[in-house]
Amino acid sequence: MSAIDARPAMFRNHPFGFILCLPLIPALGLGILILLWWYLQTRSVRLRIDADQVHLERGLLSKSHVDLDIGQIRTVKVEQSFFDRIFRVGAIAVYTTGDNPEFRVKGIPDPHRVRDHVRERREAAA
């Protein structure tokens, strides 16, 4: 099975915000600045899942990394609003032990595919 490499979606995550930025482009380039900031925010988060680990990397200049073994993961929770379901994005929370997630990532494309991939990898490792 192939690995998953995902970043938060820009348009699909906030389609109305994206559309509202477009009229601001002629207004002193404000829309371009907002879209650039938004683009950099989405590029600063990367979720990778390979055969035996889940990697979360955050940041552009300073970075933070979370690496979890697939066997440590107890639950992958997917949260989607109505519009998230329409645009096929969602938030993913990964739990190992305890009641607090190890990490949470918003705006991941096809979050159910990510959850199913982790579940299959966890079952294959057991």
Domain boundaries, the chain: 4-125
Across the chain, what does the average pLDDT equal? 89
What does each C-alpha distance from 44 to 7, 34, 48, 77, 119 come to in angstroms?
8, 15, 13, 22, 26
The reply to whether CATH 2.30.29 applies to domain 4-125 is: yes
- Per DSSP, 51 falls in state S
Q: What is the mean pLDDT of residues 63-86?
A: 93
pTM of the entire structure? 0.84
The Cα angle at residue 109 between residues 88 and 105, in degrees rounded to 5: 115
Res. 21 pLDDT band, cuts 50 70 90: confident
pLDDT digits (tens, 9 = 90+) for 93-122: 999 988 899 999 999 999 999 999 999 988
Distance of CA 47 to the CA centre of its chain: 6
Residue type, 34: I
